[in-house]
Amino acid sequence: MTETVVYDSGALISIAVRRNRSAFDNHRRRLADRLRILVPAVVAAQVVRRPARQAGLMLTLRGCDVVPFTADHHVPVGQLLARSGTADVVDAFVALLAAQAEAAVITSDPDDIGRLLGCLGVDQPILPV
């Protein structure tokens, strides 16, 4: 089993916004097992709307490492988008981060993430939310 996972926005929404019991329990298990949970900052930005009213989301993020999108990422993300023929910068950053960290991806969109990982030439696990 991988020791690191990357959440996409669908994972965060299921865990903390929709309060999906299974997704929440899996998140708690990952924390208990001391897995490293990475959340790209751009993913968090897609989900955070009213932090004062999103206590569950803010608590979920507290147990994660929020990874910034920096100047070092724009070229590889853009190149990945070109290779994959896709346009979603956030999904591309999720895939790039997963490849770099040798991490599984927890996602609500396994097809797009799988396509992006395939373009990177890696075979990281893709797990449904």
pLDDT tens-digit map of 2-50: 699 999 999 999 988 788 899 999 999 999 999 999 999 999 999 999 8
Q: Is the pLDDT of residue 126 over 70?
A: yes
Mean pLDDT across 46-59: 86
Mean pLDDT across 49-58: 84
pLDDT of residue 2: 64
Q: How wide is the angle at C-alpha 14 spanned by C-alphas 12 and 18, nearest 5°?
A: 115
Tell me, what CATH number does 46's domain have?
3.40.50.1010
* Residue numbers of the domain that contains 13: 4-128
Residue 52: pLDDT band by 50, 70, 90 thresholds? confident
Contact indicator for 38, 97 with CB cutoff of 8 Å: yes
Question: How many folded domains does the chain comprise?
Answer: 1
